[in-house]
Amino acid sequence: MMKTFRRIEQYLLFLALTISVFTIVGCEYFPESTFELASESRLPKWITFPPGLTRTDVSITMSYYIKPWGSSAIFILQDTRKQTLTKVHGKVKGLEPFHLKHPPPGFAPGYPAYEIITVKGITEIIEHRKMEPIFYITDDAAVWKELMGVQPLPSP
């Protein structure tokens, strides 16, 4: 009887540890949402083209992750064969998307929405123009001034 209780205790401990690990680490395998960089948008400053490739040779996906200690984003640069060329992790500022005090006309309520993401000390503002799986990198000086209090740095 005692062996049975000990076995149950070990099983419950293993189950609790497994749940804890998946709660903390497992979030990386289950994104909150995933987006594709618009073909007309420039690449984020923290991603560079591999030699011999151009903008039309690559695609970038961005996935948002929500973890107990804050939000993050992962950017994956892939070639036309869907081979991963670069993968970078970024920190998302705040818990909710940012909105302009006076959004431009012609957008649905709640749009455009912005996320401020920093990778390796370089900050970019991500723009979501409507409810779709597409994102843009914005260099709009008015957006940068309102959300960051500064002008954007020139693109490389």
Q: To the nearest whole number, what is the mean pLDDT of the chain? A: 85
Q: How far apart are CA 147 and CA 115, in angstroms?
A: 10
pLDDT of the residue at 49: 80
* pLDDT per position as a tens digit, 20-53: 555 555 455 677 899 999 999 999 999 988 888 8
Cα-based angle 72, 95, 87 (whole degrees, multiple of 5): 10
Q: How far apart are CA 83 and CA 106, in angstroms?
A: 37
* pLDDT per position as a tens digit, 44-78: 999 988 888 888 899 999 999 988 788 999 999 99
For the chain, the domains span: 1-30, 32-148
The pTM score is 0.78
